Amino acid sequence: MTRDMCQLIVGALEIDFICWPRSARPSQTSSTMETEWEVPMGTATTATRDRAMPWKAAVASAIGSILEYYDFFVYGPMAALVFAELFFPAASSEAGLLLSLGTFAVGFVARPLGGIVIGHFGDRVGRRAMLVVTFLLTGVVTFAIGLLPTYAQIGIWAPILLVSLRFLQGVGLGGEWGGAALLTVEHAPAGRRGFFGSLVQAGAPIGVILSNGVVAVLAGTLSREQLLAWGWRIPFLISIVLVLVGLVLRWRITESPEFVRTRQSSERVRLPVLDALRHYPKQIAGAVGVHLGDTTLGFVQGIFLLGFATKVLGMDATAVLLANIAGSAVNLAVTPVIGHLADRFGRRSVLAAGAVALAVWAFPMFWLINTRSVVALFAAFAVGSVIVATIFAPQTSFFAELFEPRVRYSGISIGFQVATVLGGGLSPIIAQGLQTGVRGTWPVSLMLVVVAVISLVSVMALRPPAESGRSRTAAAGRASGDEVDA
């Protein structure tokens, strides 16, 4: 931990390498991805000798996704149910609800900032060190929210502290995914980056399942008075279990071989964020477009549809919640399969198939839900979850392959988090406004079609450098009459 903190402090000044004792500095023995790197962890074990390292990296990284989505789908209901009374009692009921949900939005606004700041240090200092920092920051802040005094206890300082903690939480989450994705993909063996990268994405449905389960238990067992008095604190306090498990797992991971190679070759740049924006604007914009597809459908399904099915269609709230949990279980089951298919048939092919499926599914989804049938509701959530997984699962490996290692953390973090704000933060609000405005769901379906088109165009416009190189080699081979495996 001391070495990691030393790197973090001096990394931006290009002298972080002094944090490594000379005897423990990594040494390169080859230039390939399968290179054996000496790992400065106080042990003779090397990254390649530890064949379990890709699995360790994937599991430790997935913990971050679990905490991220657990927090999101716990904070939202708590903000809607109790935060207005606890932190904004002086406002009217409507204004209090609006203010409490506003604290929810603050976390979204902070995400791109977290992606920029933490992405900078991730490219300068290292993936592993920043994963420890982001997870510790996110975990401590989440736990601290559960300890906050209310407005009745400290007055105006209660909502101020809540907003401040929510902002810090968003900063931590903004840098979390990029590091988790890269540490996993850069540790993954050749030919299996899609599969191992998808394991990081599998943390999302696990987080949704856990959060919905906690909310369901609290809502079903506690009275309104108990929920206001102390019950609302429980979901935030028990998250410390995920934090402790995640820190233990991440402490055992070695640094990414690709980053070690970048550090040794002096390829790092002083301001990787600016370098990424200057040299990779197409890749960043494309990443925004690709991720917009799954995050829009996922949040429309996980936020908008829950309220629409219960309040507009009058369906049982428990049935709707169970349908969402079932959909997340389907997502969890198919995500590794999608990752394997991305290795087998190519990332772009799988992503394009997901975007097309989203466009086709946009209208039938609401046709099923509008029948008010519980079976149809479960089917709609299940199919939607498969489409979300198809677009979401290959993104870790696909996005990583778009950027050079020296700016990779910054590039993928900016693209991913901007799309999260647009698709996750705005899509449920836009969907609600469209449905309320016309008293129908066809505008929401049309919105999903537009998003699917944007996602598909983005996928087709992007081509990782390695794939471009294979295409050029194949073209040269055909021109010379040789057969080349492209």
Q: Residue 248: how many CB atoms within 10 A of its CB?
A: 11
Q: Is the per-residue pLDDT at 11 higher than 70? A: no
Q: What is the pLDDT of residue 24?
A: 38
Average pLDDT over residues 263-281: 85
Q: What is the mean pLDDT of residues 137-164?
A: 90
Cβ–Cβ under 8 Å, residues 287 and 351: no
3-state secondary structure of 149: coil
pLDDT band at 112 (very low <50, low <70, confident <90, very high): very high
Cβ atoms of residues 444 and 303 within 8 Å? no
* Tokens read off for 46: 């090397």
Nearest CA to 402 among 342, 450, 464, 477? Answer: 464
pLDDT band at 91 (very low <50, low <70, confident <90, very high): low
Q: How many helices (DSSP H) and strands (DSSP E) are in the chain? A: 24, 0
* Spatial CB neighbours of 6, under 8 Å, sequence gap ≥ 6: 16, 18, 19
Answer whether residue 22 shows pLDDT above 50. no
- Please indicate whether residue 424 or residue 391 has the higher confidence score (pLDDT): 391
- 433 vs 440: CA distance, rounded Å: 11
Mean pLDDT of 473-477: 37
Domains located in the chain, CATH noted: 2-17+50-471 (1.20.1250.20)
Closest by Cα among 161, 35, 184 to 103: 161
- Residue 44: the pLDDT is 35
3-state class (DSSP) for residue 100: helix
Rounded Cα distance between 473 and 234, Å, is: 58
**Is the per-residue pLDDT at 456 higher than 70?**
yes
**pLDDT value for 224:** 84
The pLDDT tens digits of the residues spanning 142-153 come to 899 999 999 889
Instruction: Kindly list the distances between the CA atom of residue 7 and the CA atoms of 25, 133, 207, 434, in Å, as whole numbers in the listed order.
Output: 13, 12, 31, 49
DSSP sequence for 347-415:
HHHHHHHHHHHHHHHHHHHHHHHTTT-HHHHHHHHHHHHHHHHHHHTTHHHHHHTTS-TTTHHHHHHHH
Backbone φ and ψ of 457, nearest 5°: -60, -40
How far apart (Å, rounded) are the C-alpha atoms in residues 213 and 329? 12
Q: Which tens digit of pLDDT belongs to each residue from 331-367?
A: 999 999 999 999 999 999 999 999 999 999 999 999 9
CB 432 within 8 A of CB 369: no
- 153 Cβ contact list (under 8 Å, min separation 6): none
- What's the chain's average pLDDT? 81
Structure tokens at 385: 């979850």
d(CA 438, CA 7): 55
Closest by CA position to 239, among listed 212, 210, 201, 219: 210
Among 39-43, 283-287, 316-320, name the one with the lowest average pLDDT.
39-43
Given a cut of 60, whether residue 174 has pLDDT beyond it is: yes
Residues 217 and 230: their CA atoms lie apart, in Å, by: 14
Residue 284 near residue 408 (C-beta atoms within 8 A)? no
Give the whole-number percent of the chain exceeding pLDDT 90: 39
Whole-model pTM? 0.80
pLDDT at 381 > cutoff 90: yes
The stretch 82-105 carries a mean pLDDT of 71
Whether 417 has a pLDDT exceeding 90, the answer reads yes
* Cα distances (angstroms) measured from residue 109 to each of 13, 75, 114: 28, 15, 10
Looking at residue 92, its pLDDT comes to 57
Pairwise pLDDT comparison (242 vs 289), residue with the higher score: 289
- Is 412:399 a contact under the CB 8 Å cutoff? yes
Q: Are 315 and 362 in contact (CB under 8 A)?
A: no
Identify the pLDDT of residue 12: 36
Alpha helices in 125-188 (DSSP H): 127-145, 151-154, 157-187
- pLDDT band at residue 216 under the 50/70/90 scheme: confident
Q: How far, in Å, CA of 118 to CA of 100, rounded?
A: 27
Q: Given this model, what pLDDT does residue 96 score?
A: 63
CB contact burial 310-337 (16+ within 10 A = b; e otherwise): beeeebeeeebbbbbbbbbbbbbebbbe
Provide the pLDDT confidence category of residue 212 given band limits of 50, 70 and 90.
confident
pLDDT at 312: 85
What is the band of 375 on the pLDDT scale with cuts at 50, 70, 90?
very high
